[in-house]
Amino acid sequence: MTTLEQTQPRSAAPRKRWAFMPNTTLRVRLTLLYTLLAVFSLVVVGALSNFLLLNALERQFQTRLSERADAIVLIWNEPLNNFGRRLIPKDNQALLQIVSNGRIIDGTSSVLMDVREAIPVGSIRIPELGGVLYRAVERISGKVRLWVALPETDLLLVRQTSVQFLLGGTLLSAVFMLMMGLFVGRRTLYGLTRAADEAHALEPFSRSEIALPRRHDELFTLVSAINDLLERIRDQKDFENRFIGQVAHELGAPLTSIQGYLKKAMEKNASSAQPSNTLNTDLEQAQKVAAELNFVAQDLMQLARGRSDITLALHFITAQTLRERLERLTTRVVFTGDWQIYVLCDPDRLVQTLRNLLANARRAAGDTGLVRCDIQVGDDKIIFTVRDSGPGLPQGAEDRIFEAFYSKSNSSGLGLSVASQIAELHGGKLTGRTHPEGGAEFTVQLPQPLEDDAEELLEDDMLEETLPEKMP
């Protein structure tokens, strides 16, 4: 006995919609679409109108030819009643051929008299009469056959003119619709373009919104929805920043206390009668971990404040001052370059930036790897370069390493984000890459004042340092 197993229905794959010119602007797409629709409508209406017009002219021409033939037959059959009337008036373009018993009796043209046989009924072309196309009908009166024809020159001219008018009108209409569509589309979509420009100009930490359009249309609804979304994102961001700031604050005090207790424990161990080297090593490692956590708390605090809430205290100091502070915060770093030059910066923030870069470099290079910090002077900028002998940046993560909490190693993912913020606050930038010879390389570029401005800044800093000494 065969049993049927119940199978789960397969989920339908999403249908791929065909996109009309996806790489062009909305204004151009709408213009082309409406132009095609207008041209199609014009062609259909024009072709139908021409068809009806030409049919009416065709019936009118056929009626005129039949009336002319009937009039000629009437004159032929009743010559006494129509005495003095010509079969074909002089001002008429009709042709007449009279055939009796297969013999040509009379005709309005010598050409028709010379024809040995009756001319067929329908549209024919007589080359001897200028190649004009004629349409003929025949009437039978007893044993006599009357062949009557009229030229189709006017009818053909109307046909040709109507076709040319349709084609020319279609072409002109297409050009006109394209020009008007682009103009009207630009005016109509101006509000959308302006809203897009304002959205692009919004800063990540700005509280401003996109200006609402005057008309309460679909664009107004869209901009309102975007502003509401921005407000919800800002509220969520404010909540996250407050939470991160509170966590960082709660971590700061205990970590500082832990560092103090570890320092006291190291001092007690050193002053004891039998100091333990193993204990001292463990305490040093614990102090390094506490210091690292303290730096993480500082990064969290700065991340919570954001760019807009940070104020730089710029000073014109020697790079050697920065180096001395970095040597106390980092270990086994090779400093190269001229560190006697002056740098315009916020010393605390710049030390935090370089310390984060050096800490990441040491983590990547390991305890025995090489970490180097170099300083160079450009035309109007100072360049700090931090390079390590580690494996380099993770493949595919070059564009995301400066995002907060993004990390491919055993770190918080905050150091590079905070360092990038500080560099941008100084008017500079932080870049990173994998060096061609191996290892990661990060570059901090800071703009510097010109020589005259640098001398004024140096005098101001020296004056600030001497003022407290002169005060009573």
Query: Domains along the chain?
Result: 20-188 (3.30.450), 193-309 (1.10.287), 311-470 (3.30.565.10)
Per-residue pLDDT tens over the stretch 177-225: 888 888 887 777 777 788 888 888 887 667 788 888 887 878 888 888 8
Burial of 355 (0-12, 13-18, 19+ CB in 10 A): buried
Check pLDDT > 50 for residue 3.
no
In this prediction the pTM is 0.47
Give helix 277-305 / helix 415-425 axis angle, nearest 10°.
50
pLDDT of residue 196: 82
Instruction: Measure the CA–CA gap between 215 and 110, rounded to whole angstroms.
Output: 80
Of 425, 198, 410, 210, give the one whose Cα is nearest residue 302: 425
Q: Comparing C-alpha atoms, which of 335, 326, 306 is closest to residue 204?
A: 306
- State the DSSP code for 373: E
**470 or 379, higher pLDDT:** 379
Residue 310 pLDDT level (bands cut at 50, 70, 90): low
Closest by Cα among 292, 253, 290 to 414: 292
> Strand, helix or coil at 336?
strand
Confidence of residue 305 (pLDDT cuts 50, 70, 90): low
pLDDT tens digits for range 141-170: 777 878 888 888 888 888 889 889 888 888
CA distances from 177 to 105, 162, 165, 172, 358 (A): 62, 22, 17, 8, 63
